Structure 1
């Protein structure tokens, strides 16, 4: 009898473990799939590019190492090159990583048993974050060599922040806790957030239009830089792919130009509406959009309407979703001021994320200054809105 009583708890534990095993396995599989799919996609893209090289291009192992480093950079990692630290996240790839992690967070919540508590949801999301960080650390350990070392502090902290935000968002949306938390906030919070989102997307879209105009005005320069780097079709396609990955970074730099502070491409090159300083820049065809002379181009002056238009779109979106607020015009005005301030905060954060460094010395600073851009955006939106009015 004693033996039977001793065995019963272990059997119950075994049955509980058996019930929980599928959810654990599915959560782990979804998390691993994000990294695996990203690496396989990057490796295949690099292999296709190398196939266009008449000289044969890089071997498969080198392509896999380059893909792994791109994956780490997209999460904010730091590579230690002989020329200095490389910290520049290709934001388009970063968005894809965040999208994948958000999906993994949703899967982790979806496979939970019915009636799971908020603690269970948090535990499931935490397991996704922990496993992703383990995979990221192992990947960094594999590619850490004499060619490109790893700055471990940033490589561990930045992916952790990205994973917490992306997985938390996905898990919160799937479980409904995000909507429940927003419902407990004052009624104007949702309209303000919608306005900030609409204003941010408008500013980025218009910034990309300005970038396209600048590139189109110097298409010959783009072709010349691309052709001078050699590599035949492989070089052209590879540089085009790199330029596409960096398009959001370039758009945020244009946003800094529109706000007034401008943007840097190294310490020797500054482009702003107050003046242009040109120095040596990397041989990247996307940089053909830079001015050819010290004169401020017309498109830079035209870009100054971007903060005003973004502010107007944010205000219109806020008014449409707020409807007849119970506080009247006073609450509506305060909500508009809050939306403008948050728009500046988001612009500053984007400038910080999109910038970085390409080594020591002359290329230690790349991108728009975050603090100055964040402060200038709401001020520009208000003053130019008044000028237009």
Structure 2
């Protein structure tokens, strides 16, 4: 069959993908990423704004609210949304800087859900989504009246929320590469002990928060009678009860972080001059909030053994290090345990910092715990527990100990000769 030199053309349903174009609908990938971020921000903001407007409509017949516009409800919801991203809010003249971690988790979830549903698991899609979310947070801050520093905090807070939320959502997309493939360039540059230490540190933080959550549940059960009395004393209607319940839920994760500070030893404060720790409880006048009825009133005795829980968490991380690490030298397990302790200390300190701040005027300007102290004690407790569980059972360490004993025995024998 003669060759004519004319190429045969084949029609295909799918266009050839390009770097900046989506193979789904032809839209630029950066535009799809930006729309994903806008959807995530709108979902979390509307989740706060719609109930606020509903409460305004339900209470509009009250003469006390006759001069209040519905935009006031939207403004309050916007300030709460920005507060969830780390921007201090001014509510009724009082500065509130403590981050409601429950609302932050809501923003994380909407980022995850939007990215999983509408995002594109590409580098351009990720950068566009994260960058657009940060810029949208900054724009919301400027529109709500924040200054340049407040807008910058909104951008940074938006980036901190968008990176894990949108990143996790994109990883669930069908076209997303496996997690191990993504982190391979980083893990190949790090040594095995460092990688194992990071993994064990994340495990220890998750286990510590689980212990704190269980402890918080016990506090709620122990203070149930006080919580019920506070709710009855407020004499709330159905709408007020729902609003108060949602507000309380937004600060439950904060109480979990405070419980972690309690387990670490230093404890926390809810108002200037107060202290709640295993060794001392100093109370004071508190706002009539049902959640505060769950504050612990135990001190001394068995409570003093609370830091031992971190030793147990560290032992769990140490067992993970022993299982995951194939030591070549004796110092490998020491490096892994050290990285585990540092990871725990840094993450716990960041969580405590986010869960602390000002919750109102006067005495309530001091709420939470000391991030640096709690982080150091958490790192020490988990690091010690991990060392006890991982170092003695490590094969390289035991071999090094045997070699040293043998060298000492040989040296003593030569000295005697």
Coarse TM-score class (shorter-chain normalised): 0.7 to 0.9
Match of 2:37 in 1: 31
1-side partners of 2:280 and 2:32: how far apart?
Answer: 56
Q: 1:3 corresponds to which residue?
A: none
1:43 counterpart = 2:49: yes
Deviation at 1:204, TM superposition (A): 0.7
| Residue-by-residue CA offset, 1:115-156 (whole Å, 9 max, x unaligned) | xxxxxx2x54333233223322333344449xxxx9445334
Cα separation, 1, equivalents of 2:246 and 2:216: 17
Mapped pair 1:125 → 2:126: yes
Larger radius of gyration: 2
- Partner residue of 2:203 out of 183, 192, 198: 198
Correspondence list, 1:341-360, <5 A: 341-360=342-361
The CA deviation at 1:192 is 1.8
Mapped partners of 1:73, 1:165: distance in 2:
18
Partner of 2:259: 254
Whether 2:162 is the aligned partner of 1:163: answer: yes
Please list, as runs of the form range in 1=range in 2, the aligned pairs for 1:238-253 lying within 5 A after superposition: 238-253=243-258
Aligned equivalents of 2:386, 2:337: Cα separation in 1: 13
Instruction: Tell me the secondary structure at the aligned position of residue 357 of structure 1.
Output: coil
What is the distance in 1 between the residues matched to 2:328 and 2:19?
53
Matches within 5 A, 1:70-89: 70-89=80-99
Is 1:154 equivalent to 2:153 in the alignment? Answer: yes
**TM-score (norm. length: structure 1):** 0.78
- Counterpart contact for 2:135–2:155, Cα < 8 Å: no
How far is 1:85 from its partner? 1.9
Conservation of the 8 A alpha-carbon contact between 1:210 and 1:303: no
Partner of residue 139, structure 2: 138
Distance 1:202 1:49 in 2: 39
Report deviation, 1:298. Answer: 6.1
For the pair 1:296 / 2:315, whether they are aligned, the reply is no
| 2: CA distance, partners of 1:217 / 1:166 | 35
Distance between the aligned counterparts of 1:263 and 1:93, measured in 2? 21
Deviations 1:358-389 (CA, angstroms, capped at 9, x unpaired): 13431222112100001111223456789999
Residue 211 (1) aligns with residue 216 (2): yes
CA distance in 1 between partners of 2:186 and 2:388 (Å): 36
- Tell me whether 1:272 sits opposite 2:277 in the alignment: yes
8 Å contact from structure 1 (residues 78, 154) kept in 2: no
Q: Is there any run of 5+ residues in structure 1 with no aligned partner, and where?
A: 1-14, 113-120
Write the mapping of 1:329-340 to structure 2, written as runs, cut at 5 A. 329-340=330-341
Question: What displacement does 1:23 show?
Answer: 2.3
1:211-249 deviations in Å (ceiling 9; x for gaps):
111121121110111222232233333222222221221
Residue 165 of structure 1 and its aligned partner are, at CA, apart by 5.5
Separation in structure 1 between the aligned mates of residue 183 and residue 387 of structure 2, nearest angstrom: 36
Say if 2:185 is the partner of 1:181: yes
SS of corresponding position for 1:188: helix
- Asked if the contact 1:355/1:366 (under 8 Å) is kept, the reply is yes
Q: TM-score, normalised by structure 2?
A: 0.73
Q: Residue 308 of structure 1 corresponds to which residue in structure 2?
A: 311
Find the counterpart in structure 2 of residue 321 from structure 1: 324
Tell me if structure 1 keeps the 8 A contact 2:134–2:156: no
The RMSD of aligned alpha carbons is 3.7
**Structure with more of its chain in helix, by fraction:** 1
